[in-house]
Chain A
Amino acid sequence: MIVAAKILIAYLIIQGALLCLIAAVGTLRLPDVYTRMHASSKGATLGVASVLLGVFFYYWFINGVFSGKVLLGIVFIFLTVPVGSHLLGRAAYSVGVKLDKRSVQDDYKGHRNFVIKHKDDSYL
């Protein structure tokens, strides 16, 4: 039982670390902001979430502690990281960052400022 749990935990943590590494490589290698955002947000979300899941199982099976904080962290990361990268990509597009030269289609062309219509006293 303990051995199976240890194998599961090791698998989850190694998978998470590898996904984070792949996300980092993708951030380095991909050509423009949007594809980099695509790589880093998805890879890092799932990577960090699986590391946290491994930590949760470690505390649960090995130490006998049910750590709700780690579960809350997983939920929080799954909720917030995509929104953060969505906002980054939207801000980049509305500032006018070009797509990569090889891009075929840009459906938002001409709607550069579709995002921030000037709010009165907003921080965005």
Chain B
Amino acid sequence: MNGHDTNDLILQTITKVTSFIILLFSFHLFLAGHNNPGGGFIGGLMTSSAIVLLLLAYDLKTVRQALPINFIYVAAAGLLIAILTGVGSFLFNVPFLSHSFGYFQLPILGKTELATAVLFDIGVYLVVVGITMTIIQTIGEKE
């Protein structure tokens, strides 16, 4: 991973551990957003902060190799998902962006509340991750 002869062993080792903790916590924040503090925005910010930590410990090329994603497309996909959840409510003859929820019996989790607002939140999450990573990668790149 660290192809260059830099001396960042401690930072890189700790980054390998902590970035997973940050990613896990951002996922938790994303899912907790319905009933607790959290949600798509802060979850997306924490996910991109985990990637920024990887960028600090390694260099841009290594992270591009590990995550070969163009983050502009991530933001676009998020916007598309958010709009589609709004348009999807037309299928049920209700106004734009009407959301609903229901209780389902899932195999492991048991009785779970599933809401369509989560789909919209996924859109927000992807937009935030995409925009933040695009800004940081664009600023950080040497021209």
Contacts and interface: CB of A to CB of B under 8 A. Distances in A.
B142 interface: yes
B17 interface: yes
Interface residues of B, number: 22
Contact of A117 (B4, B25, B28, B60): B4
Contact of A121 (B10, B18, B28, B140): B140
B51 to A, nearest CB: 12
Interface in B1-55: 4-8, 10-11, 14, 17-18, 21, 25, 28, 55
A122 B64 CA distance: 12
A28 B11 CA distance: 27
A72 interface: yes
Given A116-B6, A119-B6, A80 B60 contact: no
A83 B61 contact: no
A124 interface: yes
B14 A83 contact: yes
Nearest to B2: A119
Interface of B: 4-8, 10-11, 14, 17-18, 21, 25, 28, 55-56, 58-61, 140-142
27 contacts: A69-B28, A72-B21, A76-B18, A76-B21, A79-B14, A79-B17, A79-B21, A80-B18, A83-B11, A83-B14, A87-B10, A87-B11, A114-B7, A117-B4, A117-B7, A119-B6, A119-B59, A120-B4, A121-B60, A122-B6, A122-B59, A122-B60, A123-B56, A123-B59, A123-B140, A124-B8, A124-B56
